[in-house]
Every structure is written in structure tokens, then in C-alpha cells.
């Protein structure tokens, strides 16, 4: 684990986390993959260990540690080979909780953030809509002010933790006529009257619950507005950089695990009197993939380091997700091929890696959308600025 970004403390954290995951999570993975429901007890165990509080203030029960502890958490979650379990954890800890931490007032943080850190509450982030996809500005969900309340109507889709969460961080238009300048962010209790969630059936990420959420005249106290009214779009954009980097890190870690497993398999599997790792065609393809993985990994660490130092890394994080998820898909495809018929069998890990990896270039902004964003930055010289509060 020697690396310029990781200290001895980081490495000890990685070892203890790896032990925890093997002992507490791995024995349940097959069940959760089958049922699509991650049981509540594991959230509490994560909370008790402090894993949800790595990046958050001590005031609310967090540990206020540097971003490389988060990098380690993400990498180790990929190594237990359940993209769905990993997604449920990081969608709670970084998508929902990042908004609570950055835009929530003290009352919201005291209730929602502290209970999220302890593992007593599970959160989700509701931005994507059935008609909009990556077009955040085109959202149709509205929040109309009515006295001391907002009335929310609309729908969201592809929401990780959408079915079993306790609260939702919801983006809605408070001033539809203002386009992307009319979006606001709310925290909504999932059991509020008028909120309903339908579970979606997915190709991969089977352990996580992904929901389509409907809001039918949902009455939310005005105190549940987070940050300033109308500032939702820049808040969302600001946090997209972290989400994209997370998905980039997930991708390089998933690829690294796939390569490690495949190399072990190749060293043990023999045909015509020699092991697979002695065939030049396979050796050269393997080192090509290893090299691509290392390039992505080094780049992702560099971006994480910049983000940790306060840089605004929209372009870099977008490149991280675009390139790392493409690389991971190619690695999953080829590693499955290296296993031959066994690669296609569910009892071997490559089948699930192959399915789970496929979401990489889709979720959190498709590769096509990311290329358009990068075109605007690189070709049209458009600059994205952080939201000021």
C-alpha cells in the first residue's frame, strides 16, 4: 500500500476496514443480492465503527478525517464484489449526507446528519427524473410555498436507497419560470403522507434498492428547505464533482480486484501443459489492462488530493468518471473472457463484476453527457463556479 497519498494511519485503517467487511458484510452478500434488501443491522454496525462519519464534523458525531479515508472506504467496498451494497453505502454517506452537511442548518444537521452518521437513519438523494435523466435543469418536480409549508408534486427515478430510506434529499422547482435558477433543495421524511416508492428491477447492483419515487401533494415544513431558495442547481453541480470522482475511484478499484482475481485464476488454470499466465497473447492483454488501471488510479488519487486541498475539480472529476468507468468495463469484459466458461457462471465473481460494472458509464451522468460537459469546458471555454453561501 505504499503510496505518497497514504500514511501509516491510512494503511492501518484499510486493514481494519478490510477485516470488518470480511467478517460482518461478506457472509450476508449473497442473501442481499438475492433479496435486493440490505438489512438494517449492518447500517448500525457501519455507524458504530464510524465509517459514515469519516468526512463529517465532530460536532455531529463525525471524525473529520481527510478525503483519503473516504478513498479507502470506496476501494475496499469494491473488493467484496457487490456493486449494489457499495452503492447503497456511498449513496447514503456521500450523496445524501453531503447535502445535509453543506446546506442543512444546525437543526437539520442535529437531526438528520447526526442520525445518518450513527447509522440510525438512511438517506437518499432525489434529483434524476423519468423525463429528464441527466438534464437537471429540465426537472418538473415542483415545490409551491403555502404558508409555513411547501407542497411538493412530481416524481424521481433511479434513486439508490429510494425504497428503504428514512429521509430524502429532494430537488424541486420553487420558481419554475426561472429554469435552473428556480431549483431548491429540501429534506423530506420518507414516511410523509403522499410519498410513495416503487422498486425497480435492475441488471446489476442487485443488492441495492433503486426506486421510482412519486410526490403527491407532499406537505413539507418550510424549515426543511436547505440553503437558500433558488440555489439548488449550483448546490447540485458543486457536489457532482465528488459523485463523479467517487464513481471513478469505484471503477479503478473494481478493475484492480478483477485483475487480481483473474491473475490468480490464470496462474492455477492449465491447458496443454502450461498455465494460462504463460501464454503470450493473454500476458500482453493482461499487462495492457493493468497499465490502464494504474493510469486511472494514479489520476484519481491526484484529483482526490486536489479536492482535499480545496480545488474546484469539475473538469478533472468528470474525466475521472468518464475514463475510469470505460476502463473498468473493458477489464470486466476481458477478465470474464480469460475465465472461459467459468467466467459465465454465477458462482465465479466475474459474472457479477461484469453486470455491476456496466452501470459505471451510465449512473451519475452518462459518458455521453459527460463528454458534452467536457466539450463546454474545453472547447467553449465555459467555466463552472462553486455555489456561494
Q: What is the mean pLDDT of each run of 10 residues along the chain (389 residues)?
A: 85 98 98 97 98 98 98 98 97 97 97 98 96 81 97 97 98 93 97 97 96 98 97 90 96 98 97 96 98 98 96 95 98 98 96 98 94 96 73
Question: What is the pLDDT, as a whole number, of residue 388?
Answer: 56
User: Of 160, 139, 154, whose CA–CA distance to 236 is shortest?
Assistant: 139
Alpha carbons 175 and 182: distance in angstroms, whole number: 4
Alpha carbons 372 and 297: distance in angstroms, whole number: 23
Q: How many CA atoms lie within 13 A of 171 on its CB side?
A: 31
Alpha carbons 110 and 93: distance in angstroms, whole number: 16
The dihedrals phi and psi of 197, each to the nearest 5 degrees, come to -125, 135
Q: Which residues are catalytic?
A: 243
Question: What is the pLDDT, as a whole number, of residue 1?
Answer: 42
Question: What is the pLDDT, as a whole number, of residue 387?
Answer: 65
Alpha carbons 114 and 132: distance in angstroms, whole number: 32
Question: What is the pLDDT, as a whole number, of residue 2?
Answer: 52
Question: What is the pLDDT, as a whole number, of residue 250?
Answer: 98
pTM: 0.96
Question: What is the pLDDT, as a whole number, of residue 72?
Answer: 98
| Contact yes or no for 167/188 (Cβ under 8 A) | yes
Question: What is the pLDDT, as a whole number, of residue 340?
Answer: 96
Q: Give Cα separations from 152 to 135, 185, 212 (angstroms).
A: 19, 11, 15
Amino acid at each position: 500500500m505504499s503510496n505518497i497519498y497514504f500514511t501509516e494511519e491510512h494503511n492501518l485503517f484499510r486493514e481494519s476496514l478490510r477485516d470488518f467487511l470480511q467478517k460482518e458484510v461478506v457472509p450476508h452478500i449473497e442473501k442481499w443480492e438475492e433479496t435486493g434488501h440490505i438489512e438494517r443491522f449492518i447500517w448500525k454496525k457501519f455507524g458504530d465503527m464510524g465509517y459514515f462519519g469519516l468526512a463529517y464534523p465532530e460536532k455531529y458525531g463525525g471524525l473529520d478525517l481527510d478525503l483519503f479515508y473516504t478513498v479507502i472506504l470506496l476501494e475496499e467496498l469494491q473488493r467484496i464484489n457487490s456493486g449494489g451494497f457499495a452503492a447503497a453505502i456511498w449513496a447514503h454517506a456521500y450523496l445524501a449526507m453531503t447535502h445535509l452537511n453543506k446546506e442543512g442548518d444546525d437543526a437539520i444537521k442535529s437531526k438528520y446528519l447526526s442520525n445518518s452518521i450513527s447509522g440510525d437513519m438512511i438517506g437518499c438523494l432525489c434529483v434524476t427524473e423519468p423525463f429528464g435523466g441527466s438534464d437537471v435543469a429540465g426537472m418538473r418536480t415542483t415545490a409551491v410555498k403555502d404558508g409555513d409549508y411547501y407542497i411538493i408534486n412530481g416524481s424521481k427515478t433511479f434513486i439508490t436507497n429510494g425504497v428503504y430510506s428514512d429521509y430524502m434529499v429532494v430537488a424541486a422547482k420553487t420558481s419554475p419560470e426561472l429554469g435552473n435558477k428556480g431549483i431548491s433543495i429540501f429534506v423530506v421524511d420518507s414516511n410523509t403522507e403522499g410519498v410513495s416508492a416503487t422498486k425497480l428491477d435492475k441488471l446489476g447492483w442487485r443488492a441495492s434498492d433503486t426506486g421510482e419515487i412519486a410526490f403527491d401533494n407532499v406537505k413539507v415544513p418550510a424549515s426543511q428547505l436547505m440553503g437558500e431558495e433558488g440555489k439548488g442547481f449550483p448546490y447540485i453541480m458543486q457536489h457532482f464533482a465528488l459523485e463523479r470522482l467517487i464513481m471513478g475511484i469505484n471503477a479503478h478499484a473494481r478493475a484492480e480486484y478483477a485483475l487480481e482475481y483473474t491473475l490468480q485464476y490464470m496462474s492455477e488454470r492449465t491447458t496443454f501443459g502450461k498455465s494460462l499466465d504463460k501464454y503470450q497473447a493473454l500476458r500482453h492483454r493482461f499487462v495492457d489492462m493493468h497499465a490502464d488501471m494504474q493510469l486511472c488510479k494514479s489520476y484519481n488519487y491526484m484529483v482526490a488530493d486536489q479536492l482535499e486541498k480545496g480545488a474546484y475539480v469539475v473538469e478533472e472529476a468528470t474525466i475521472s468518471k468518464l475514463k475510469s468507468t470505460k476502463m473498468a468495463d473493458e477489464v470486466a469484459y476481458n477478465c470474464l473472457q480469460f475465465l472461459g466458461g467459468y467466467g459465465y457462471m454465477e458462482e465465479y465473481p466475474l459474472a457479477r463484476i461484469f453486470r455491476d460494472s456496466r452501470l459505471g458509464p451510465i449512473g451519475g451522468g452518462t459518458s455521453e453527457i459527460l463528454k458534452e460537459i467536457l466539450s463546454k469546458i474545453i472547447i467553449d471555454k465555459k467555466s463552472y463556479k462553486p455555489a456561494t453561501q
